[in-house]
Amino acid sequence: MKIDVMPGDITKSDSDAIIINLFEGVTSPSGATGAVDKLLSNAISLLISDGEIKGKAGEMTLLHTMGRITPKRVLIAGLGKQTDFSTERIRSVAADSVRYLENIGVTEATTIAHGAGIGAQTAIDSGRAISEGALLGLYKFNKYKSAEQKADFNRLTIMESSDDKIRELRKGANEGVILAESVNMCRDMCNEPANGMTPSDMAEVALKVAKAQNLNLKVLERPQMKELGMGALLGVAQGSHEPPKFIIMSYEGDPDNQKNNIGLLGKGITFDSGGLDIKSAAGMSTMKSDMSGGASVISAMNAIGNLKPKINVTAIVPATENMPGGGAQRPGDVVKAMNGKTIEIDNTDAEGRLVLADAVAYANSIGLNRIIDVATLTGAISIALGNQCIGAFGNDQEFTNHVIESGNSVGERIWELPTFKEYEGQYSSDIADIKNTGGRGAGSITGALIINEFNASASWVHLDIAAMARTSKTSGVNIKGATGIPVRTLVKLVQNLGS
């Protein structure tokens, strides 16, 4: 879909439909909505007084203009209460509006800049949020459908009468396109069936991103991993016929200051059967998306390469399947990670922390002083937080706060959980340095702390996205299936640190 920003009067747009808005409680619309109302003989005001239009969040009202103005249709989008208004509401309004229009056969429309007037949002933020919302809200994964698809909505124009805002709207809209396209790349990877997104396929996607954005790429194969002592990752990989890949992407935004760096690490389990501690059939149904962390960091690098912040960024993805083949590791086995620490395998289905153990140790070895790892790590996080936010765990409060603020600012909410030292006793081992599980209690916390056992001294944050990587329904910017969370959080964090 193409997104344009144009100066002009929206009532004279030649689009099939125009999108305007209304705050809840407004009885006499002003601005662009007021101008349209006047030209339609106060039809909007009459519907407000009759109670048919309330302006509630998510409300959509379609009017046919019958030739009274150039556009054939007017869609009035409810913004909810003005006191609750935010850029996240703009995203949702943009997503809901274009989906509504597409469902009735409209393929192009013109919208006002939601929030850039009495909504008190900057033009840059409004343009960015509209682009993100529209592109994320119209996402589809139809690659494997053979039936002919109906025409897609293909063009959205943001029209603004104030020349002073045009430049900022364009800047915001362009950035929104970059972010949304990167999120949708992540969604594509996570929605692929496991036979279409193997570790080798993940490496191919990383190669395409690296070529497109002029990034450095290195992919370690099994012999190189063995030489580096990545026994934790190789232990997980040994039950699969698919070769593991250790993907390393790097962007140099501040080459003269190599200490100005951050590592984005993502769990890349392209299918998780549970290994010999095999999952139930229902438990395996969405395990093609167990590489969502890896997909998110690769996709974030696509946006980072485009936006060019002044910071050095390295993305690391330990990619493998976790399968119960004849060579699979067993409960009770002991493996040694790259940093020399030994791990007793208490449960083969606790594999994400094993591959990330070697990823974190590798990140330390190349001098990354800030690390954020992203993983669909534990089902326990959904028990703790439901499916409303990401769980965060860290060892540096200032860095953790940066991550949380970055997520909250883009609408990907994050909540910090404790990492008290007393939890460490839950994963002690009688025969090795640690076990790979800490029992039922505080499962998300012990999983995070096990990863940090392999971190020497870097500021570190772990994001458990297990409850947020997929959604079972379409709402706002999220489409049923993979969400692409937390690509925008990672990009915002890197932009903030590199500004």
Average pLDDT (125-136) is 97
Burial of residue 70 (number of CB atoms within 10 Å: 0-12, 13-18, 19+): middle
Catalytic residue among 72, 279, 341, 413: 279
pLDDT above 80: residue 116: yes
pLDDT tens figures, 211-248: 999 999 999 999 999 999 999 999 999 999 999 999 99
CATH class of 184-497: alpha beta
pLDDT tens figures, 445-459: 999 999 999 999 999
The predicted model scores a pTM of 0.97
pLDDT tens figures, 353-400: 999 999 999 999 999 999 999 999 999 999 999 999 999 999 999 999
**Pairwise CA distance, residues 65 & 63, whole Å:** 6
**Is 473 labeled as catalytic in the residue annotation?**
no
Higher pLDDT, 15 or 120: 15
CA 439 from centroid of its chain's CA atoms: 29
CATH number belonging to the domain at 2-138, selected among 3.40.220.10, 3.40.50.10490, 3.40.630.30, 1.20.1300.10: 3.40.220.10
Phi, then psi, of 382 in degrees rounded to 5 = -75, -25
pLDDT tens figures, 311-322: 999 999 999 999
Catalytic residue among 89, 353, 370, 470: 353
**Is 353 labeled as catalytic in the residue annotation?**
yes
| For the chain, domain boundaries | 2-138, 184-497
The first and second tokens of residue 350, run together, are 């606790």
| DSSP code per residue over 111-156 | E--TTSSTT---HHHHHHHHHHHHHHHT----TT--SPPPPPP-EE
Res 61: pLDDT: 97
At residue 227, the 3 state secondary structure works out as helix
Res 163: pLDDT: 85
Mean pLDDT of the chain: 96
Res 160: pLDDT: 92
